[in-house]
Chain A
């Protein structure tokens, strides 16, 4: 079956702009989580959506937001981009229970200039 698909794979934005990243989970998966990966801070949890509701939230400013659609696809939005938002953004999907395996996409590399 198809894996987790993230689009776009690469993105270059200017400081102050906003950006939307997309994640299509594995068919049947209802949970989608987002992570930010940077050399300095490592992998940090942003938020998780389950059945269109935000279930968990990490410690990120309100400029980072997300949503999930009825087909479980998820989008992440970052407004007023800062240079420090440059990172690899990873999406993971799972069936939803804490015992279930999380499958990751290949990520979106965001560069803010």
Chain B
């Protein structure tokens, strides 16, 4: 079974600074997808960024980027120029290819942004 681990229950960053959230996963599959989701107080999960395992290039979406290390099974999220609106729970998630829409989530990291 696949597992996803987020070792940082809480992180804090100063506004405009950069923060990195960690995620490791365990799988015997070679073809899969990795995601970072944001869950603000409204509770609605919002996709932040997605990475296909077969792609060596790290995904980037504006201020959000990932460091994907397939061999190490590591998938960290870097948030640059942090904004107050970035404060939320962040979940790392794994989806095996050809597994439909079945996501395995990590335990989450609560990100606080200080003004």
Residues of A within 8 A of B (CB): 31, 33, 35, 42-45, 48, 50, 55-56, 58, 88, 90, 92, 94, 96, 98-107
Contact = CB atoms under 8 A, between A and B. Distances in A.
A105 B44 contact: yes
B51 to A, nearest CB: 11
Given A43-B108, A107-B43, 10 more contacts: A33-B100, A33-B103, A35-B105, A50-B101, A98-B98, A98-B100, A99-B52, A103-B47, A104-B37, A106-B44
Contacts, number: 68
A27 B91 CA distance: 26
A42 B101 contact: no
Interface of B: 33, 37, 42-47, 50, 52, 91, 95-108
Nearest to A103: B47
Main secondary structure of the interface of B (DSSP, over half): loop
7 contacts: A43-B105, A48-B101, A96-B101, A98-B97, A98-B101, A104-B45, A107-B43
Main secondary structure of the interface of A (DSSP, over half): strand
Contacts of A44: 105
A105 B103 CA distance: 15
Nearest to B44: A106
A88 B105 CA distance: 15
B43 A31 contact: no
A31 B100 CA distance: 8
A45 B96 CA distance: 13
Given A104-B45, A105-B44, A106-B44, A33 B102 contact: yes
B44 A102 contact: no
Given A31-B101, A33-B102, A48-B101, A98 B95 contact: yes
